[in-house]
Amino acid sequence: MRRFHGRTALVTGAGHGIGHATAVRLAAEGARVAALDVRGEAAEEIAALVGGEAIECDVSDEEAVGRAVEWALDRFGRLDVLHSNAGVLVGGTAEETTLADWERTFAVNVRGMFLLARAVLPAMRRQGKGAIVNTASTAGIAAEPALAAYAASKAAVIQLTRQLAVDYARDGIRVNCVCPGWIDTGFNDPMLEGVSDDELAQLVDRMVPMGRQGTPEEIAAAVAFLASDDASLVTGHALVADGGLTAL
């Protein structure tokens, strides 16, 4: 498929996991990709892989986000897709979560998505068309133990997504989010310290009806759908991709 031929996509957190897989998927479908990551070397690596451009940026930094989007617009002339994926995971109950951890979680997971959306919206409005896909989480829908900051931040992402969708639908801009469940990436490592591979497999088998973790590529496929014209009537939606986890 060439659903993104002639279009430009900005992918944040593109250096690993879901962001990496999405950059590869969108490029394979014809998009020119601007790969943004707080780790410059990781951004360069994925940009080289997909024939795109690399941008080093901390999404929680307002000025850095503004410069990154301006650079992408100067380079490509337009931005058709934003996959706002950069995030952090800090475990802990409310008592175990420090104020610094809480603020950093919201700075990246929520403020970052707000800043990126606010920065790209003027260009998308001028174009009369655009698609934003945020990465939320099943933790934003159904609470999980010891994820106070992360779960609260992802619930905020889902509602921010809906608000943006309502505000900009008449401008031709669709805004959705994808809610992954257990995905086999290093992102979950902070919650798995001391857990063996066998213990993890047993845990996933008990929690997930499909009995397995998802792959970054499976989430990238969901992101590509939401960003494409195949989802032309879909906006304000939180698409769950979790192997049945939240159906229990």
Buried b (16+ CB within 10 A) or exposed e, 167-193: ebeeeebbbbbbbbbbbebebbeebee
- pTM comes to 0.97
For the chain, the residue count is 248
Q: 177 is written with which tokens?
A: 């989010």
Least confident of 7-21, 70-84, 135-149, 181-195: 181-195
pLDDT band at 167; cut points 50, 70, 90: very high
**178 close to 241: Cβ distance less than 8 angstroms:** yes
pLDDT for 17-45, tens place per residue?
Answer: 999 999 999 999 999 999 999 999 999 99
Vertex 185: Cα angle to 180 and 187 (nearest 5): 80
Active site positions, annotated: 150
Instruction: Work out the mean pLDDT of the chain and round it to a whole number.
Output: 97
Q: Which CATH number fits domain 8-239: 3.20.20.410, 3.30.70.120, 3.40.50.720, 3.40.50.300?
A: 3.40.50.720
Q: 169 is written with which tokens?
A: 């639908």
Of 114, 112, 115, 61, give the one whose Cα is nearest residue 87.
112
pLDDT for 76-86, tens place per residue?
Answer: 999 999 999 99
